[in-house]
Structure formats: C-alpha cells, structure tokens
Structure 1
Amino acid sequence: MERRDILRASGLALGTLLIARPAAADPAHKPKDEVLTAGTVAELLAFTKVEDGTLVQVAGYHRPGDGGGMLTRWDAASSSAPNGGTVLGSGAKGRWLMVHDGVLDFRKFGLFDTETPADAALDAMVNDPAVHRVEAHTDLNFVRRHRFARSGIELDFSGRTVTTEGIEKAGQDDPFAAVLLFRGEVTKEVVTHKLTAPVPDLSDVFEVGDSARFKVGQWWTAEVNALTGRWERELQKLVQITQILDGSRVRVNYKNGWELAAGRTITWTRVEPVERAHVRNMVFQGVAGGDQYTGSHPIAYEYAVRCDVSGVDATGTFWPVVMRRWCTHYRTEQCTLKNPASVTWGGAGYLTQQIYCLYGHVSDCHVANSRHLNDFTASAYCYVDNCHGDGDDQGPFVTHGQYEHDLTYTGNSGLMTFANSGAAWGSAAKRITVRKHVCSWFVARVKVTDLTLEDVQVIGKPSLQGSGMIWVNADGLQMRGCSASDTLIVSQQSKLSGRANLIEGCTFNLPAKSEIVQANVTAPVHISRSALNGLDGNAFNGAELRLTDTVLQARDGAAPLTVSGSATLTGCTVKGLGIRAAGKADQRVRLAGGTTLTGAGLSRADAGGVVTWELDGCRVQGGGVELTTGRNRYTATGCQFTGGRLEIRDGAFDYLKHTGNLEEGVTRALPADGPRVLTTGNLVIQ
C-alpha cells in the first residue's frame, strides 16, 4: 500500500473508534409526539391533565424572551419541594422539573433585580449536584450568609452588582460569615504523634506513628504543638498524603519550612476539602457603615483546595473580601477593594487574608484606602505579583509573623511590613523575596530570616510620619539595587541563617544622628558599591561592618560617623565626614584599597576598649588623625596624608607604626621613636 492509503486506512479506523454509540433504546418507551410550548412560567403552571414525561419549552419567566426561559419535564410522581426554578408546581404530587445541562442562572428563578432576595435561588442551584456552573446576568441582593460544602462548581456573576441590604447579623468576630462560604468537612479521624527525631527544614517526610491510618491521596491538617506564644506554631498546613514510606512515616505534598525538634507533637486531622469551587466577576457593595455584625463581605474558604477567585470588585466591605484558612493550591486575581468600612478594627478592611495557606497566587489586584491588600499568616510557597495599593498608610502587604516562609513578591507597590504582629504569633518569617517594589515604608525588623530585596524603592511622603524608611533584620539579609529616601536601620532579632548580610548597589539618604546598624547586630554587615548620603553624627554600632567601593557623603559641618564595632573600608570614598571609634569593647578600624577621606579624619571617643587602627594604602585629605585618649594600636603604611594634623599623644597608644607614607602639608604631633614607636621612612613635603 502507498503511504496515503495507509494514512487513509488508519484515519478511518481511528474515526471508527471515536464514534460514540448511543444507549440501546427501551422498546417499551415511545418518544413523545411533540414538545409543548408555554410563553411564561405562569402559563406552564396553568397546564392541567398532562401526561407523565411531557416536555414543555417555556419562552420566558415573566414574559417571553426575558432570559428566564427553560425546558421542563412533567414528573407526575415527584413531591420535591418547589424552589421557583428547577422545581416548579404545587400540591402533594406532580412537579415540573427543569431539564438543563448543569449551567443555570438566577433569571430562571424569576430574579431580574434586587427587589427580591436571591438567597433561595442560590441555595437551590449550589446544593444541586447536577449543577456545575451558576451565572448571574442581573444585579442581585442577598440577605443571608450561606455555607456550602460542595465541590466542582463555578459562580460567575458576569460583572453584575451584588448587594446585601438587610442581611442577617453575623456572629462576634467571625470573618467567615461571608455571603459565600465554602467549607470542607473536618472528620473525626485524628492522629497525634510525638516526634522521636528532628524534622529538618525542607523535609516532606513526617513521622506519624502508625502509617496504616493514612492513605495516599487523603487530605490532612498537620499542626505542631505551640511554643511559648499563644499562637506560635511552625507547622499549620492542609497537606495531601503522597506516599506511605514505611510503617511509621508518610510523605506529603509540602516541604516543611522550619526544623521541628524531637519531642514536639504533631496532630493530624483528616479533612474532606471543598475542591474547585470558584467565584468570578462580581461587583460587590458592602453595607454602608457596617460593623463586625452588620457589615458584609462576599467570599470565604476554609479547608479548600484549588478554589479560585477572579474579577471581584468590592467597595465598603468589613471583613476581608476573600477570606481563606486551611487552603492549598489557589489563585486570587484581578480583584479590587475600595474604601472598606474599617481600617482600624483587627482583621477588617482587607482585600485578602490567608491563614495556614499553601501554594497561593495573588495577582493583578488593587486596593484604595484599605488596611491590607494581602496578609499571609502561617502560609508558605505563595506568590504575589502586579498588585498595588494607594491610600496605603495602613500597609497593603504584610505577614503576621506566624512562621511564614518561602513567599515571593514581584512588581507590586504599597507599604510593606513583615512578621510584625507580635510575640504571641512568634514574630518569625523565613526566605521572603521582594523584587521591583515601590513603597513609602518597608519594615522587616523582627525575626525575618534570609530576606532578599531586589530593586525595592522606598520613597517617603509628608502624610506618613516615619516614611522613607527601610528597617531590616541582619539574619541572612541580601539587598541589591534598593534605595530609601530617609532612613536605613539594620537590627538583629534572630541568628538562623548561614548567608552573609549583603547590601549591594543601594542608595540611602539618612537623617542626622540616626543609628544605621544597631548594637544588637552580632553578624557581619557587608555594604558594597552603594551610597550613604546626608550623614551627620550617624552610628554603626554592630559588631562588624565591611564597606567596599561605597560613597559616604556628609552634610555640611557634619559630626563624625561613630563606629562601635570593627569596621573595614576598602576602596571607599568618604566626603566631609570624620570616623570616630566609640566602642566600649576592643575594636578594629581598617582603611585600605584606596579608601579616601576628604575634609575630615580619624579620631576616637573617650571609651574603654582598645582600638586597633590599620591604615593601608588609603588617602586622608584635609583631616588627619587625632588619637589623644584611650588605648590605641596604630599602623599606617603606603598612605597619603594631605593637610590636616597627625596627633597621637604619649600614653594614648600601645604601639605606633607610621612609615612608608607620603605627607604633604601635614602638621605633625607624633611621639619620638622608641621601642613601641616607628615614624621614620616617610616622604614629608611641607
């Protein structure tokens, strides 16, 4: 056979395989002679003496063509409760049942405006397992707060407005009292196990005691016992069992973000989550002046998997527009919030809050005059991109500090603060990355480990006191290409990372007399190819500072920069700024690699520690060296001194070596050479 014949034959065979064969006909059942018609539902209900199985095509609900038309079938034996849509009729028996393909809308329940509450119709559609999609094509009003446990459904409001005028009151402090709450079932299967060995960071294998109680594919909540804080737990996630390893261990779909010590207890609770219940394209108007009882918000999920929200435009809500807890694998996108009812009540005024969540993606969202756009609490492996907040003094981007980890933010704008809710939650977060962010304030001052900032621009504004500030934790901190218009503060609250603390290619404008590196910083801080502007009496009080190829620019008449720990300046330019050693303990100050000081020099405060000065290949122009108190160990070789004064008094040093230097127009006040003094071998030009 030729090639074309082979292809033709194989195509025919394939086509034969793909033909769907209809079910065999029932010989006892004869098709109806005709499908009857009715103009409206009222006309349909007026039919009498119809045979069982009669089909009627209804042209409209209130009038033909109004969008509420449907195909119905008469079931003479049905006694289902009428609901105004999928079940029509009255009396003890006999109902008109809607014939549909699983896609319904509110017009088929006679709802065309907000005059009649849409709650009963919503319940009828969502609770019908034959329905997989619910649409709205008119504005709607809801007066009840609904709770659903079903999966596999999509609610698309087609950009229509949803109001809640007259809605029932919520309970006290209940952010899950949404108009739409999808909540999975928490079973009574609970397994508690005390760890016999540590669970390392990034482990997806867990001891469970008896693994026979688990099956692959099941969903469980995993929760470790609390530490000293009331809500301080490193592990609280909804995870799926992916493998039974042996009689006592299972693998889950999550790499743990924090080491758990032997002796800690993990409680496992089996859950049957809601899956793939999506909400889309809603314009939501909250209750004017609503509070925690009378206010309203559209959507909440708890114990949910792969449940997405998109295209929700909300105004005046109280609790978060999209509230999530114990959720895994989800997207929240193209949602907005304007002017919520409160930005001061705890938990109110958010676009989305996510508690114990995994694998979330929040994108293309916006808030105006809200509290938070995005809040993560005890959540991990989530991504936020192209989200923006204005009127943002309350902070659009936050984490609670309940051991969040592996979060990434890209291309967003708005005030940002991490792990800042208090010790009761742990004040901890790990491996957070922020890229291409613009904001008025960035704070990650507590136990934020392995923070990475890239192209983060902090620009202060007059309306927010303290804005223009970056405040970060020196525990694996890495900053590249960042800037702050007012303040840089480096402190240290944790010591977990093995990464160096690097600040590279950044620019900071600093207020006078501010502490740049706090005294509690015990890890080295590296600043390279950066610019520190506006210096005047500022302080580096950490244990070790390393400046490389960095420009330090002073204000006119600036007080010296004080250094309380060891400091190394390599290839730096220091303009109009003296450097003063002020440590109470021993410290080392080293200037090398062509570092240049212009307009000021080196000195020390009257403090108790020994200061070791090492000047190697540096230039001091118009300043000099003044060591008149304390104990100093001074060496200078290969340096250039121009103008200024070299004064090192007897009794103010352990040893002094000043040789191989070039001095031009320098006033000398050095001690005579002796067993601990060497000042010869310099080129002195007057």
Structure 2
Amino acid sequence: MERRHILRATGAAAGLVTFGSLLAADPASADPAHPLKQTVQQAGTIAELLRLDVRRLEDGLLVQVAGYRTPGDGGGMLLRWDATSTLPANGGTVLAPPGASKGRWRQIHDGVADFRRFGIFDDKTPADTALEAMVTDPAIHRIEAHTDLHFLKRHTFHRSDIELDFGGNTVSTDGIEKAGEDDPFAAVLLFRGKVTDTVVTHKLSATMPELSDVFEVGDSSKFAVGQWWSAEVNQLSGRWERELQKLLQVTQIVDGDHIRVDYKNGWELAAGRTITWTRIAPVERAHVRNMVFTGAGDDQYTGSHPVAYEYTVSCDVSGIDATGTFWPVIMRRWCTHFRTEQCSLKNPPTVSYGGAGYLTQQIYCLYGHVSDCHTANARHLNDLTASAYCYVENCHGDGDDEGPFVTHGQYEHDLVYTGNSGLMTFANSGAAWGSAAKRITVRKHVCSWFVARVSVTDLTLEDVRVIGKAGLQGSGMIWVNADGVQMRGCSASDTLIISQASNRSGRPNVIDGCTFALPAKSEIVQANVTAPVHVSRSVLTGLDGNAFNGTGELRLVDTILRGRENAEPVTCAAATLVLDGCTVTGTGVRLAGKADQRIRLGGGTEVTGTGTLLSRADATGTITWELTGYRSLAGDAGTAHIALSAGKNRYSAVGALFNGGRLELRDGAFGDGSYLKHAGNVENGVTRTALPKDGASVQTTGNLVM
C-alpha cells in the first residue's frame, strides 16, 4: 500500500491508530531490479494492530508488532493479513479484528511458538487455549514458555514431532477440571497414538522360542514393513497375566505366514497361544522438557500430574521437577523407545493408593532409558510393568520405605539398573500379574531392603549394598529366588533369605565375594529350595541356630561361617553339603534332613568352637560323612568334634586333624547298613568318649594319637 492510503485508512479522524515508520524499506527503492516488492510495517502492540480499519487493508500486508501488550514484552511477532480467512481466532497464531466475520491476522513463524505471543505472561491467565492452538498447529514443531503458567484443563493430543520446553518455569494446576475414576492418563499433557480398527488374531501352530523376532501371524499380507502394531498374547490364569504385551514395528515380511519385528521375545510362547495384533498409528517424537510442576488436589479426581503417553514412539521427557502430584509424574503405557532424564518428585499427597505417588511408571514398554532422577518421600521412583530391554541409572530415592524401584512381575525381562539408591523389590505384586520376571541385572546399588522372592529368573546382583535402618520392618534384608540368581560383591546388614518359586534357569545359583550379617535363628535357605546353591569367598556372620532348610546341594567354598558367642549349631537339610576351604568358627553344623544326606569337608576347611561341632538332628535317613583334609579345633575339653548316637551313618574320616576335645561315635549310630572308617588322622589331645569296636564295618586304627 502506498503511504497515503495507509494514512487515509488509519486517520485520526476515524479514531484509528497509524502505523509507525517502516521496519524495512522497499527493496525496490534501493535496487529497481530487485524482485521483492513487499514492505513490512510496524505496530506497537496487538491492541493497536486490531484497531486498524480492515476495509482498507491489502491482502498479504505484513506487520511487525513490537509486543503483545507493551513493546518489548516478548510477545512481539510478524503477522500477515489474510483478507479471506475465516479461521477461529485463538489469540496468537490467528487474530480476528473486533466484529470482523472475514479476514484474519496470521502469525508468521519458523515453527517455534511462544505462550507470550498469545498474551500469556504469568500464571494469572489460564494457558489452555494457547496450548491447544500451538500443539494442534502442524506448522509448529517447538513450543516455549518464558513465564510461569496455569492450566485448568486436561489435554489429549495425537500429533507427532513436537517439543514443549517450559524453560524451567512453574506450571500450576489449582482448580483443574476433575479427572475420571482411576485414570492415571488424565494428565495436563497426554500424547496418545490412535488405535485403528485393523485387528489380526492368530493362534500359534508351533511353539515360538524365546528370543525369537520372527512371529507366526497366519497371513503376512495383512502387514507391511514400517507399520506399528500392538501385540498381546492371551490371558493366562492371572487376571492380568500375559507373556507378551508390546508396541512393535514390522521390519520384514519373512514369508506368507511370518513377519519379523523389532523385538526379541523374552518368553517362550507355547503352541496354541493366541496373539492379537492391533494396528497403531503412534505419536512419535513428542517431547516435554524443563518444567517445575506443582500438583493440585489430594485424590484421584482433583489431583494432577504433568505428562502421560500411550501408544507412542521415541517420546522423551527431561527436566521435570514435580511436587505433590497424585498419579505418576510421567505415565507411560504401550510406549517404545523413550528417555526420561533429570526428573524428580517430592512429597506426593499419597503413597498408599494403588498407582499413586510415583515419579514414572511404564506399562507394556520397550527400549526405555531412565536416568538422573530423584524422589523424596514418594512411592515408586521407577515402575516397570510388563516391560523389557530398559535401563535405569543414577536414580535415587530418599524417604524410600515405599520402594523406589519395582516391577509388578508381569513378565518383565532384560532390565538393567546401575548406580542407583533406594529400596528395591521385583515381581512381588501377586499372582494376578503372573509373578514372573527374567534377566534383571542390578549393579552398584545401595538400599535398605532388596526383595526378589518370587519367580525372578536369572537375577544378577553386583555390588549391591543393603544397609538396614531403624523403624523399617525387613530392613537390611536381601531375599532372592534360587533360579539362576548370581550375586557378586553384595552385602546385607541383617538378613539373607534364599527361596525358590520357579525352576526355569540353566545357570547355577552363585553367591560370590559377599558379606551377610544374620539374625539368630533365621532361615537362610528355605525348605522349598531344591536347586543347588553355591557360596564362595563369602562371609556369613552372627550365626546362632540358623537354618539351611533347602534340600538341594549346598556348596560352600573358601567361605567363613562365624557364630555368635555361645551359638547353637546351624542346621542343614541339603541332600549334599560341601565345605571346601571354609572356616567355621564359633558354631557347629547339624544335619537335619528328612531324607538321605551327604556332607563333605575338605580342602583345608577348619572348624573351631565349643559344644558340638558336627552332629545330626534326628535318626531319619542315611547320612554319609566324608571328612578329608580338614581341621577340627575344640575350644575346650568338653567340645565334641563330632557326636553321633543314633541313625544310619556312613562315616569316613581320613587325613583330618582333631585337636583337643573329644570324639563321640556311639554304637547306636553304626548299625546295619552303616560303616565307620576313622584312619590316617591326627588326634592331638583328643578324648575318645565313645567309638565302636573295630570289625567288618568299623576301622578306628591307623591314626597318629598324641
């Protein structure tokens, strides 16, 4: 427009504002050959812009506004007049002059949007309309906040390729609309992919082996490479018990019956299992960053939380510092490939209501990475349910009695935790979920309680330190499942419990280089353990009447068993007990199995103490005693190196050293089917309280007696 036309259109006589000076001269005035003709005009504020007489505005006119309310307030923008537009005004990207049915000012941007360009400069004005306008605009790929914000609505979005950066400002939600019943996805920001009507159901004709990424689908022509599908196997006996629930991408059409996906199945699927495939249009690359969030309300209806994702791919969250949220700060379900970093939660309103008070929960999730997060007085820092191939590192929970690190036992597998701190419990939510997990690894962890007592297979613990604290029941305890468990360099200040709830693993149960302080009379290996347990280069202290009640082989190598003062013997029901190169001091060993048992002491094992050092508890079963190359040192003259008075015993002591004390091997312990060979030993100051006479099954000569 020529300048005189602008003056006429905006003359003071009409009560309208005038444009200021040109921001950019007409390029043609500098170079008549230049192809650009458009000039950019300026206005001080949005109010000034909207007072222009729209009847005299030329279509396509560009105006630079210096500020939204006042020049320089950060809400300035470049706008274009679209004379024919009837788009609904939203206060930012689309502005409508008062009373204009047609014609809109359209914000020109490079894909980066700002709440200030919607007139939002603080938390006094709700930002919901601005948020909706920016997120639903496909031309916007990044949204920035430069002030505190307030939201009154819970928003659901289905778009991809968007980043919301709140710049470390506070987001409040006092007075937010009520959520529905039991809806942890009623977040301020919910990104949800679309579930299509395309469903393929197929019953497996053959067993699908573990770690297979090729799935039998019946008719592979219904699938295409690059598509995303949710895959869910049929329910087992538990209400939520399923071996497969993941959001997967098709990577190859293998043949007419099979497809390959981006996932190695963690559990064998038996022939006859039915997998339901549902086509998903996921949200992808929708990120939320840098927010201080204050929750509102103290129940599931009035409480608030910032972010939730469902059916999403590669959606990351970072830098959320939340206080007082009800549901998880970051809630995920059916998500694949994601990162949650540098987030925190303090003092949620409840840690007792199911699902509430978490920092982040992941259900049916795959390929997640959670790092550098923190909770204070919360329930769970990180919950992985039916999830796989996830990594949690450098996360720490204070006020951790409710358990910062958990899984539900809904067939989780291949999870790794490194360098974290806080109470940890795996697969303990009950049979309704299946009580199953596999290949969980925990490294360099410090906590007050560690429990993985149910069907956790191939658990690996490295440098896990459990240190009890006053007032927490079960504090100082490590409790593990003897199904391929391997512990190295671990310690517990109060309790070690080994039980067995599953028998899937092919690898041995190994405890190596560990230290455990044990309460008196506690059961160390429970009676349900039938698998072998290997303990090497470890130290067990505080022993006093403790029990190894498992019937599987118990093998201790280069291990120290240290009793309390005047301790009762430890009892053992293992079918085979081996002590090789061990030190047993201050306590004895009593065999207490209900079936046949075998005990082998050798490799320089040394047993010292008072009372009775080796004995049997009852007369059932045959016990085979293999005592070779070991030392037995009595603490006083009344100490019995070994005392047997009844039952069937097959005793062989060869090359052993007995110092002081006495030997009590009575006739009643060596009847039919028994034998006694006590030869080639050194007896130094030993009193033979009772030994049978030599005969066909008894030999007690040939020893060096001093």
Q: What is the match of residue 227 of structure 1?
A: 236
Alpha-carbon distance in structure 2 between the residues aligned to 1:140 and 1:76: 33
More divergent stretch after superposition (292-301 vs 33-42): 33-42
Q: For residue 18 of structure 1, what is the aligned residue in structure 2? A: none
Deviates more, 1:58-67 or 1:587-596: 587-596
Matches within 5 A, 1:436-451: 436-451=444-459
Give yes or no for contact 2:80–2:105 (8 Å, CA) kept in 1: yes
AA matched with 1:611: I
Tell me the alpha carbon deviations over residues 504-537 of structure 1, each in whole angstroms, 9 at most, x when there is no partner: 0000000000010011101000000000000000
Q: CA RMSD in A?
A: 0.9
Match of 1:115 in 2: 124
Q: 1:651 aligns with which of 651, 668, 671?
A: 668
- C-alpha distance in 2 between matches for 1:460 and 1:506: 16
For residues 574-630 of structure 1, what are the alpha-carbon distances to aligned partners after superposition, in whole Å with 9 as ceiling and x for unaligned?
Answer: 001111011111111111111000014101112411111110101111041100122
The answer to whether residue 598 in structure 2 is matched with residue 585 in structure 1 is no
Q: How does 1:342-353 map to 2 (within 5 A)?
A: 342-353=350-361
Letter in 1 for 2:48: E
- Which whole-Å CA distance do the structure 2 matches of 1:516 and 1:183 have between them? 48
Q: Does 1:683 align with 2:704?
A: yes
Matches within 5 A, 1:210-221: 210-221=219-230
Q: Distance in 2 between matches of 1:381 and 1:99?
A: 43
1:84 to 88, 91, 100: 91
Query: Cα distance 1:661–1:167, how it changes in 2: closer, same or farther (>3 A)?
Result: same
- The aligned runs of 1:465-484 (5 Å cut-off) are 465-484=473-492
Deviates more, 1:82-91 or 1:296-305: 82-91
What 5-or-longer segments of structure 2 have no aligned partner? Answer: 1-33
Q: Does structure 1 residue 43 correspond to structure 2 residue 51?
A: no
Residue matched to 1:573: 583
Moved more, 402-411 or 642-651: 642-651
Q: How does 1:653-668 map to 2 (within 5 A)?
A: 653=670, 654-668=674-688
User: Which of 46, 68, 72 is the aligned partner of 1:61?
Assistant: 68
The secondary structure found in structure 2 opposite 1:361 is strand
Alignment partners' CA distance in 1, 2:322 and 2:89: 33
- TM-superposed CA distance for 1:302, in Å, is 0.2
Note if 1:74 corresponds to 2:81.
yes
Q: Cα deviations across residues 309-343 of structure 1 (Å, max 9, x unaligned)?
A: 00000000000000000000000000000001110
Is the 2:457–2:484 contact (alpha carbons within 8 Å) kept by the matching residues of 1?
yes
Are the structure 2 counterparts of residues 212 and 553 from structure 1 closer, same or farther at C-alpha, using a change threshold of 3 Å?
same
Is the Cα–Cα contact under 8 Å of residues 504 and 530 in structure 1 kept in the other structure? yes
Deviations 1:40-78 (A, max 9, x none): 000000111211111110000000000000000000000
Give the aligned partner of residue 627 of structure 1: 644
Question: Distance in 1 between the 2:237 and 2:270 partners?
Answer: 14
1:452 matched to 2:472? The reply is: no
Question: Which residue does the alignment assign to 1:560?
Answer: 569
Q: TM-score, normalised by structure 2?
A: 0.92
Please name the residue that 2:606 is paired with: 596
- Are the equivalent residues in 2 in contact too, given 1:257–1:405 (CA < 8 A)? yes
Give the drift of 1:651. 2.3
2:693 paired residue number: 672
CA deviation after TM superposition for structure 1 residue 656, in Å = 0.5
Q: Check if 1:317 corresponds to 2:344.
A: no
How far apart, in 1, do the equivalents of 2:315 and 2:96 lie? Answer: 35
State the shift of 1:33 in Å: 4.8
> C-alpha distance in 1, partners of 2:298/2:684?
76
Q: Which amino acid aligns with 2:698?
A: V
Q: Give the ranges of 4+ consecutive aligned residues of structure 1 lying more than 6 Å apart after TM superposition.
A: none
Name the counterpart of 1:290.
298
SS of the aligned residue for 1:424 comes to: coil
CA-CA distance at 1:34 after TM superposition: 2.3
How far did 1:633 drift? 1.1
Offset from partner CA, 1:198-257 (integer Å, 9 cap, x none)? 111100000000000000000000000011001000100000000000000000000000
How far is the alpha carbon of 1:165 from its aligned partner?
Answer: 1.2
Q: CA 1:472/1:596 → structure 2, altered by over 3 Å: closer, same or farther?
A: same
Name the counterpart of 1:174. 183
Partners of 1:473 and 1:262 in 2: CA distance:
28
Letter in 2 for 1:197: A
Q: How far, CA to CA, are the matches of 1:268 and 1:109 in structure 2? A: 43
Q: Which residue type is aligned with residue 460 of structure 1?
A: G
Asked if the contact 1:211/1:246 (under 8 Å) is kept, the reply is yes
Contact residue 619 and residue 648 of structure 2 kept, 8 A = no
Asked if the contact 2:345–2:376 (Cα under 8 Å) also holds between the matched residues in 1, the reply is yes
TM-score by length of structure 1 reads 0.95
What is the aligned counterpart of 1:615 among 621, 627, 646?
627
- Which residue pairs with 1:52 in the alignment? 59
Q: Shift of residue 353 of structure 1?
A: 0.2
AA at the equivalent of 1:78:
S
Counterpart residue number, 2:378: 370
Task: Judge conservation of contact 1:32–1:54 (CA < 8 Å) in 2.
Answer: no
Instruction: Check whether the contact 1:582–1:607 (CA below 8 A) recurs between aligned residues.
Output: no
Contact 1:594 1:617 in 2 (8 A): yes
Residues 583 and 607, structure 1, Cα contact 8 Å, conserved in 2: no
Alpha-carbon distance between aligned partners in 2 of 1:393 and 1:485, rounded to the nearest angstrom:
17
Q: How does 1:7-406 map to 2 (within 5 A)?
A: 31-48=36-53, 49-90=56-97, 91-287=100-296, 289-406=297-414
Q: Distance in 2 between matches of 1:404 and 1:503?
A: 23
Distance in 1 (CA, whole Å) between partners of 2:476 and 2:258 is 50
Match of 2:546 among 534, 538, 560: 538
